[in-house]
Amino acid sequence: MFHQSQTASQSSVYSNPIIAQSAVPCRQQSITPADVILPHQQLLGCMPVLSDETKAELSANAFMVDGDCFDIVDNWSIWKPMFRGCERHGLYNTDLLTRIMDAPLRSNAQAVMLSTMALAVEGQLHTIIEEFSNTIHQTALENNLALNETLKAYQASNFAYDISFESSINSQYGSYESKGLNMIDGSGLSVIDINLSEHPLALRQLTHALIYTLSVTGLFNWSGELIEVVLGAAGNETADKIKSHLNSYDLSVVGTNIDNMSQEEFAVFLRDEYADFYDEITDDDPDFDWSYYQLQDALNYNLSFDENNPYIKFVDFSDVPASINAINDVLIGFERDSDPIAALPFFTVLQGVITTFKTLLGTHNNNVFEVNSDEYLPQTRIVSVDIENDSQLLECLSSRLCEAGESAAFTIDLSEEHAIDTLKNVVLSQIMIGYLAS
């Protein structure tokens, strides 16, 4: 009886083709209630019916940015100072900033608005710098300064830095540590040569102090820093040891022998003839291995080119206005005492540069910048006051930058109160170098 009832039931099920299609396989039979619609049946050959809210959400998700620079969620550290800077310095319409913040997070619409904002801010900064550059040249003209047109063009295209919003890693080696608004070396190593050889010693030394001061706000290095730039802190320490142990005659003897002896012969010579200096040099390198090459490189450089400069002490990295005033006081003293130096044409140039710089210098804060590359940005810009002496180290520096295969960069933090003034100071200092070199 049970068997007959089961057979009848099976016959009833399979007689209905719709129910048969819905059957779920069991061990010996397929039984599915006729009123059950399985999920795979809903999707087979048709889309399920979606609510309007679900459709809108799916559409929005299809255009979401994820991990991109314009993903404000993942890159808030980039956009936060941009928003604050735009508001603080009036770089972008506040209503548009509000619209960006109110847009759905990670939406395509928000990403487009962020991209538009970045380009607009970059353009605003370029306009500010261009207008300020014109002001600098006009003020310099009023202070009896003239700039060589060829040098002016070189400065604008090679010595000046680029300001650009980087939305992606910009080097095949991945040199940039982060994206965002950057000040970038766009042309590799750039050098400006200022020939001071015809001027009196006091005027040369005072100009060295002025260039060193300008380097603080101009983000460049000069001849006096070249040993450390190229050979590093260890090379700079070696140079200090040389200057403290060897006089000019000793320098000549040691320099000649290191060029004409093997490393082993030179080690014996130095240990026998200059025992104290040898002990000092090999203190951290008993085998006289790397210290030999450091010494060789340092001896190829004229370490006494700015020896005993009484004006270098005026340079105070924490107080540029005070440094400039101290240098200016020396010029005033030359003029007051009717020193022959005051009658030289270059004396007038120094006066004009200092007056222009003091007039236009804004509040400076290097905290606006953050190192954003393996190479240090100011080391790509060198002001040489003795190009013949600097040439070998400059070649080494150029080779190093080429081998690195990257541009140097600083990230710009626009949220800083004095960010715009600091950017202007960089431009002012670099242009003043041009007037000194003309």
pLDDT in tens, the chain (438 residues): 444 444 444 444 444 444 444 444 444 454 555 555 555 555 555 555 667 776 565 555 555 566 578 889 888 989 999 999 999 999 999 999 999 999 999 888 999 999 999 999 999 999 999 999 999 999 999 999 999 999 999 999 999 999 999 886 544 444 445 678 999 998 889 999 999 999 999 999 999 999 999 999 999 999 999 999 999 988 889 999 998 999 889 999 999 999 999 999 999 999 999 999 999 999 989 999 999 999 998 998 888 889 899 999 999 999 999 999 999 999 999 999 999 999 999 999 999 999 999 999 999 999 999 998 889 999 999 999 999 999 999 999 999 999 888 889 999 999 999 999 999 999 999 999 999 999
Cα–Cα nearest to 246, from 302, 287, 321: 302
Indicate whether 246 belongs to any domain.
no
Question: How many whole angstroms separate alpha carbon 81 and alpha carbon 118?
Answer: 12
Query: Based on the domain organization, do 120 and 140 belong to the same domain?
Result: no
Provide the pLDDT for residue 176. 46
Selection from 93, 162, 88, 158 nearest residue 129 by Cα: 162
Tell me the pairing of strands 162-166 and 180-184.
antiparallel
At 96, give phi and psi (nearest 5°).
-70, -35
Structural domain including 41 reads 2-49
pLDDT of residue 304: 82
In a shared domain, residues 123 and 139: no
Residue 57 included in any domain: no
Task: For residue 330, tell me if it sits in a domain.
Answer: yes
Q: What distance in Å separates the CA atoms of residue 327 and residue 324, rounded to the nearest whole number? A: 5
306, 333 in Cβ contact below 8 A?
no
Distance CA 119, CA 318 (A): 34
Q: What b/e string do you get for 267-289 counting C-beta neighbours within 10 Å, with b at 16 or more?
A: bebbeeebeebbebbbeeeeebe
Kindly state whether residues 17 and 137 are assigned to the same domain: no
Check whether residue 429 and residue 414 sit in a common domain. yes
214 in the same domain as 330: yes
| 22 and 159 part of one domain | no
What's residue 14's pLDDT?
42
Matching residue, tokens 């959400």: 57
CB 273 within 8 A of CB 250: no
Angle in degrees, CA 25, 29, 32, rounded to 5: 60
| Distance in angstroms (rounded) separating the CA atoms of residues 310 and 369 | 31
Q: Enter the pTM of the model.
A: 0.82
pLDDT for residue 19: 41
Q: Are residues 175 and 159 in the same domain?
A: yes
Q: Which amino acid is at 61?
A: N
Residue 356 in any domain: the answer is: yes
For the chain, how big is the Rg over CA atoms in Å? Answer: 35
Which two tokens mark 258? 């290191």
Tell me, yes or no, whether 363 and 327 share the same domain.
yes
Do residues 69 and 179 make contact, with C-beta atoms less than 8 angstroms apart? yes
Q: Are 320 and 328 in contact (CB under 8 A)?
A: no
Residues 327, 408, single domain; the answer is yes
What's residue 57's pLDDT? Answer: 58
| Domain-embedded: residue 400 | yes
- Lookup: tokens for 438: 């003309």
CA angle 180, 182, 183 (to 5 degrees): 175
d(Cα 348, Cα 356) in Å, to the nearest integer? Answer: 12
Question: HSE of 252 in the Cβ direction (CA atoms, 13 Å)?
Answer: 2
Q: Is 319 within the bounds of a domain?
A: yes
- What pLDDT score was predicted for residue 26? 46
Q: Domain count of the chain?
A: 3
- Statement to judge: residues 207 and 84 lie in one domain: no
What token pair was written down for 181?
A: 């608004």
The helix-helix angle for 263-273 and 290-299 (nearest 10°) equals: 80
Same-domain check for residues 45 and 120: no
Same domain, 157 and 108: no
User: Do the beta carbons of residue 246 and residue 307 sit within 8 Å?
Assistant: no
Residue 344, φ and ψ in degrees, nearest 5: -80, 145
Q: Is residue 118 part of a domain?
A: yes
**421: three-class secondary structure by DSSP:** helix
H-helix or E-strand spanning residue 419: helix 419-437
User: In this structure, is residue 242 part of a structural domain?
Assistant: no
Report whether 277 contacts 270 (CB < 8 A): yes
